[in-house]
Chain A
Amino acid sequence: MSATTPVEPSQHARHDVEAQPRRGRHQDRAARTPRHIGLGWWALPGVAVVLALVYLPTVMGGFYAFTDWKGIGGWHWVGLENFRKIFQDEELLGSLRNTVLLAVGFVVLTNVFGLLLALALNRGLKTRYLLRTLVFMPVVLAPIAVSYVWSFMFAFDGPLNQALAWAHLDGLQRDWLADPTLAKLCVLTVMVWQNIGFVMVIYLAGLASVPVDLEEAAALDGAGKFNRLVHVILPSIRPAVGIATTLMLIQGLRVFDQIMALTGGGPSGATQTLATEIYQQTIVFGKFGFGAALALLLSVLILVASGLQQAATRDRDRPAKGA
């Protein structure tokens, strides 16, 4: 449900383990008094809520993926039948492909532009605070509202085609959202546009921890701008890279609102993703078991992708000190 989860759990999990011995000292003194032990019970209602509203439904959803459940009444165990159908359906395979392609494009573009803007607005520029505020602004808005603004931008008589005509590039005018390939790029554009500011802010927080002396030392040693970026700055902001790429990957794989607003999955299914298919199969067609199979597929995709992501960006030399 949350499109924006500004956290990176495992970093903190490791941090937590590190912090154990320190906490242990207070423990010796305080934890033996009964009152302190009693505080653990305060967490019980919260634990019950999460078990009931997150874990139980997720396990149930995973179970229904192997049934022909319609949402009402009985169900039959159908084994892997739902998954067999998914992998034989051209449109559903297309939606799987779209999901992966959009997510990859989204991660790469948001991170490249976000990092460039963060580097430009890190220090030096006089207008940096104002520009940061403005670039971040789209992040706080509803993706569906933002998408409607863009669907006018891409309309046939809309601003984009008008700008092309003004620049005497009439030959490039298109019905952007009606072309299967261009429609995907339009969706990607809107996703990227809205989240550049988010990634920028994560990188700015990372850059704030890079010591100025380190950069100056590298500059004195004759390192150019590019070398300083690759050998000094990027290694120091590794935790930020990990967080930004993981968050964008998860968000990209779940894309839903933008597609509902821009194309509705069309033209003829060309921009369907797993999330829009799940909605259609279950809420529109009432095939809950089948939709659950798609949801399980998406969940596995998200878990595997974020796991790989973690493994790829983890700092191998130092155990997560910057986190």
Chain B
Amino acid sequence: MFRYTKRTLVLEIFTILVALVLLTPFWILIVTSLKSGQDILTTPAFAPPKSPTLDNFKTLLSPSGTASDQIVSGLKSSAIITAGSIIGLVVFGSVTAYGLVRGKSRWTTRSYFLFLIAIILPTQLGVLPLYVEARKLGLVGSEIGMIIIYTGVLLPLSVFLYAGFFRTLPPEYEEAARIDGASPVQTFVRVVFPLMAPATGTVSILAGLIVWNDFFTPLIFLNGTDKQTLPVVMYNFVGALVSQWNLIFAIVLISMVPILAFYVIAQKKFIQGFSGGIKT
């Protein structure tokens, strides 16, 4: 029934065209970031640059320029906060989910629902008191403060994903480890956690993307400090760069490159992570 017919070919060509139209913004992004200020005015937006140049990137990243400090520190803050949040979410998420799934008492079942509800609970309402309390504790404008906040707010998602995986893990592995004399902690660290590598991958990718791309939280907690993450640096930059699109696009591209590099390497894992809500 699913033979490759002429109609399939037509559909294939049509779908490729649709995909090309969808990808146009990426083409514009790349060609514009390679144009000089002069080129922008003289060449059509869709055309490649007459004389491709990396000047925009040099202007932004050269150590003598004023911009590079902000961009480099933005990259650094984003990297530290993302890595720290991933570690927090993997450690807390796996241990919590393990306790909830393997602990058999009434309160573990109830606590699991606590995490489920927290996933749909809108964050806008809680973020304001969180900001004021964090300010009192001196956690506003610091990387560790952001890591704590992300770990707390994204923990329900992490617990939910880990719990789904733990349920499919047959208890025989743990029983075998116990018979061999391993303590519960040893069993978890040496046997259970390594078996959960796919869950750890999914949690890391999803949490990493959410934290790296987040704009709202760092805008509130970090704006105006020297720990601004890349999206906030970009926001302030574009405000100052009024319509210098070649420079704006160079910084936009710089912010995208780390994620796109990961995506190219592990695109299957990325896509599985996002569709993971259906396949359990």
- Given that A6-B274, A254-B122, A323-B278 are known contacts, is A143 also in contact with B108, CB under 8 Å in the complex? no
Q: Are B216 and A257 in contact (CB under 8 A)?
A: yes
CB within 8 Å of B: which A48-66 residues? 49-58, 60-62, 64
Q: How far is the CA of A19 from the CA of B46 in the complex (A)?
A: 56
Partner of B130, one of A30, A53, A254, A260: A53
Cβ–Cβ < 8 Å partners of A239 in chain B = 278
Q: Does B57 contact A (CB under 8 A)?
A: no
- Given that A2-B153, A298-B122 are known contacts, is A71 also in contact with B132, CB under 8 Å in the complex? yes
Q: How far is the CA of A298 from the CA of B167 in the complex (A)?
A: 34
Q: Are A145 and B231 in contact (CB under 8 A)?
A: yes
Partner-binding segment picked from A76-84, A147-155, A175-183: A147-155
> Count the A residues whose beta carbon is within 8 Å of the partner chain — how many?
122
- Given that A12-B160, A40-B107 are known contacts, is A45 also in contact with B95, CB under 8 Å in the complex? yes
Partner-binding segment picked from A87-95, A123-131, A311-319: A123-131
Q: Are B122 and A149 in contact (CB under 8 A)?
A: no
Partner of A50, one of B128, B152, B280: B152
Q: Does B65 contact A (CB under 8 A)?
A: no
Q: How far is the CA of A64 from the CA of B19 in the complex (A)?
A: 47
Q: Are A240 and B29 in contact (CB under 8 A)?
A: no
Nearest to A253 among chain B residues (CB) is: B122
CB distance from A53 to the nearest CB of B (A): 3
Q: Count A-B pairs with CB separation below 8 Å.
A: 346
Q: Are B210 and A1 in contact (CB under 8 A)?
A: yes
| Contact bitstring B94-138, A, C-beta under 8 A = 1, else 0 | 011111101111011001111111111111111111101100000
CB distance from B46 to the nearest CB of A (A): 6
Q: Are A1 and B213 in contact (CB under 8 A)?
A: no
Cβ–Cβ < 8 Å partners of A143 in chain B = 213, 215
Q: Does B45 contact A (CB under 8 A)?
A: yes
- Given that A42-B95, A145-B256 are known contacts, is A295 also in contact with B22, CB under 8 Å in the complex? no
Interface residues on B, range: 35 or more
Q: How far is the CA of A196 from the CA of B15 in the complex (A)?
A: 14
Cβ–Cβ < 8 Å partners of A53 in chain B = 126, 130, 148-149, 151-153, 155
Using a CB–CB cutoff of 8 Å, the interface residues on chain B facing chain A are 1-2, 4, 8, 11-12, 15-16, 18-19, 22-26, 28-29, 32, 44-46, 92-93, 95-100, 102-105, 107-108, 111-130, 132-133, 148-157, 159-161, 164, 167, 171, 175, 178, 184, 206, 209-210, 212-217, 219-220, 230-231, 234-235, 238, 243, 245, 248-249, 252, 255-256, 259-260, 263, 267, 270-271, 273-280
17 extra interface residue pairs, beta carbon distance < 8 Å, beyond A36-B104, A144-B235, A303-B120: A6-B274, A7-B277, A38-B103, A39-B102, A41-B99, A46-B159, A53-B126, A71-B128, A117-B18, A125-B11, A137-B263, A145-B234, A148-B234, A149-B25, A152-B45, A153-B25, A212-B1
